[in-house]
Amino acid sequence: MLERFKHIHILGGSGSGTTTLGRHLSEDFGHFHLDTDDYFWEKTDPPFTTIRPVPERLVQLRHKFQSHEKWILSGSLVGWGDVLIPEFDLVIFVTLPGPVRMQRLKAREIQRYGEEALLPGGHAHEAHEKFMIWASQYDTADETMRSLRLHRQWLTRFTVPVVHLEGEMTYQEQLQEIEKQLSRR
């Protein structure tokens, strides 16, 4: 059933698995995979330190959209990508319990930077702490920051099917749940 959707957006809180799901779906269904982090952030060393201006992000994304017949965009556009809402024909919203997301984020940060870099005195410690505090607020924050409430509010703007994947699932379970929700429509 997913074959009929050419332009898919997958969003959720940091650590919810949007990028992983996007990669799997792209491999299985022949879509080109895009991730919002590649457009939101300038390429820097260390990474994730310089935010790219919104107009540049939008130009780059639209160019990629036009360059590929089928694509999946994972990550969040909320707050800066509203003009792209008409581009999607399916939206998948992924949510996980906060402790699971935070555990995944910590493991990802260790893999990305190394455990020593995240410890007090390490070169990435301060940025890591700031990021983890920000990410931990996703489930409880209001609409003034990227949060569950803001994502839910943003999803009401879509007229295309929105699938909600809730809780920990294997990729196969996610596929089954997507198919199940789409077959009800």
CA 150 to chain centre: 14
**Confidence category of residue 185, pLDDT binned at 50, 70, 90:** confident
Residue-averaged pLDDT of the chain: 96
pLDDT tens, residue by residue, 103-119: 999 999 999 999 999 99
**Confidence category of residue 47, pLDDT binned at 50, 70, 90:** confident
3-state secondary structure 125-164: HHHHHHHHHHHHCCCCCCCCCCCHHHHHHHHCCCCCCEEE
Can you give the residue ranges of every domain in the chain? 2-97+146-179
pLDDT surpasses 90 at 67: yes
pLDDT tens, residue by residue, 132-153: 999 999 999 999 999 999 999 9
pLDDT surpasses 90 at 23: yes
Mean pLDDT over 177-181 rounds to 97
CATH of 2-97+146-179, picked from 3.40.50.300, 3.40.50.1240, 3.40.50.1820, 3.40.50.970, is 3.40.50.300
